[in-house]
Every structure is written in structure tokens, then in C-alpha cells.
Structure 1
Amino acid sequence: MFSLNESNRYYLYPYPTDMRKSFYTLSGIVTNQMGKNVRDGDAFIFINANCTCMKILHMEYGGLVIYHMRLEHGHFHLPVINTEEGRIKAIETFWNDLVMMVQGMDGSKVRRYKRSGFHGL
């Protein structure tokens, strides 16, 4: 069952990933390259060089799960990555950013409006 939602933390690996990698090698990237623990329950997002395939590695009850999406047309629009700070291990992202990537929306072109609080009736 698909158990990812807005309560999870999401980390995008900012470098192209070989989509032939599976559970053990993706877990190795999480541990050795990203400096995270795959058993913490966070979701780890990997994208190939052409931005046409995405894998999400997630520890769920009972074991590791990989969600894999391959686009037939177009590519995933990734968030802007600032490389001026040197080598980046992981980019923390949010559920709504992941949903926009999967639905083919460019997050940099989406306008978010400030909403005022509830004022009553």
C-alpha cells in the first residue's frame, strides 16, 4: 500500500542516479553519500541523468519499499540546486514539491499566495 504522505520527511539526492540500482545500493547511497539512516522512516528520492525516471526509497512496516516512476514523455522538473556551497549531500524537500514533480509541474513557476488566518463568520 502506498504510505507516503505529508507527514514524512523527503530528501532528494542531487546527483544523477543509475536506475539499475536497487535496495542495497540505494541504501548505500543514503548512508554513505547522503549521511542519513534509511531506517529512520524518511523517503529518499533519486532521479536519473535525463530526469525521466524517479525512484523513492522508503522504510515501511516490514521492510524497504521502492516506488519507481518512468516517464514516457517529458521530464521531471527538479528544484533549483545551489552548488556554490560545495558538494551537497541531500536536499530536504516537501510532500507538495514531490507531488508537483510527479504531476509534471514546475515548482519554480508556481505562485504561492499568502493566506490570512481564520477571521470567523
Structure 2
Amino acid sequence: MFSPKQNLKIHIALGSTDMRKSIDGLSILVSEKFNLDPFSGHLFVFCNRKQTILKILYWDRNGFCLWHKRLEKDRFQWPRSKDAVMTIGAHELAWLIDGLSIHQKKAYKPLRFTSVF
């Protein structure tokens, strides 16, 4: 689905997004509202007000790709925050797509080590 990149970032647009927007409208949102580069190759995730539709926009070498998922039953557990954009990891995106919260209490926390040399 997505080409793996080492420095891939996943940005989710908190709040709701008008799902009538397609590639052009979503890329303008990324650029103007969130001050991010839509050509970065990072993933930009959007959700509708009813939390039944997700769209993921990304640039893939020579063109934009738009991934769309609509739930026929249930809702996505879209995070709530006062921020406009939240950066998450690949595990959190997978949880979100699967209908889970991005805040899994039993998930392992990432470890960060610094070199002593």
C-alpha cells in the first residue's frame, strides 16, 4: 500500500475534514493550514465528522496517491486534541485503521538510547 521509507512520518489532521476534498484540496490543506510539505512523501491522514471515512494522502516519486477507507458499520477512534496536527507512528496508524485507539495501554513503549561515545 505505502512504499516503506526510513524517515516516514505520519501526520493526522485532528478534527474533521470535508471528505468531498480530493488530492488537490487535501494537498492545499497540508500546505496552507498545517504548514507542511505535501511533496515530502510523508503520510497525511484525514477523517470526516462522522468518523466513518479515512483518507490518506502521500506523494510517491512522481505523483500523489490517495487511499480511502469507508466503514459500513462502526466508527474510527479518531483522537481528540487542541492541536491541528498530530504525528504518530506506523503502529498507531495500523491501530487506527483497524478501529482501535492510538493510545494502547498494553503496547510497548519505544526505547531511545543515546551513545556514550
Query: What TM-score, normalized to structure 1?
Result: 0.81
Amino acid at match of 1:104: G
From 83, 89, 92, give the equivalent of 2:87. Answer: 92
Larger Rg: 1
* In 2, Cα distance between equivalents of 1:18 and 1:115: 34
* In 1, Cα distance between equivalents of 2:95 and 2:5: 13
- 2:103 maps to which residue? 108
- Is the contact between residue 47 and residue 78 of structure 2 (CA under 8 Å) also seen in structure 1? no
Give the alignment of 1:21-100 within 5 angstroms. 21-81=21-81, 83=82, 88-100=83-95
Amino acid at match of 1:12: I
Compared with structure 1, are the counterparts of its residues 25 and 113 closer, same or farther at alpha carbon in structure 2 (3 Å cutoff)? closer
5+ residue gaps, structure 1: 117-121
Aligned residue pair count:
110
- Is the contact between residue 39 and residue 59 of structure 2 (CA under 8 Å) also seen in structure 1? yes
Q: CA RMSD of the aligned region, Å?
A: 2.1
Q: CA deviation at 1:55?
A: 0.2
Query: What TM-score, normalized to structure 2?
Result: 0.83
- Is the contact between residue 6 and residue 96 of structure 1 (CA under 8 Å) also seen in structure 2? no
- Is the contact between residue 30 and residue 38 of structure 1 (CA under 8 Å) also seen in structure 2? yes
5+ residue gaps, structure 2: 112-117
- Is the contact between residue 53 and residue 71 of structure 2 (CA under 8 Å) also seen in structure 1? yes
Say which structure is richer in helix: 1
* In 1, Cα distance between equivalents of 2:9 and 2:28: 19
Sequence identity (%): 25
Q: CA deviation at 1:101?
A: 0.8
Compared with structure 1, are the counterparts of its residues 52 and 5 closer, same or farther at alpha carbon in structure 2 (3 Å cutoff)? farther
* In 2, Cα distance between equivalents of 1:12 and 1:115: 20
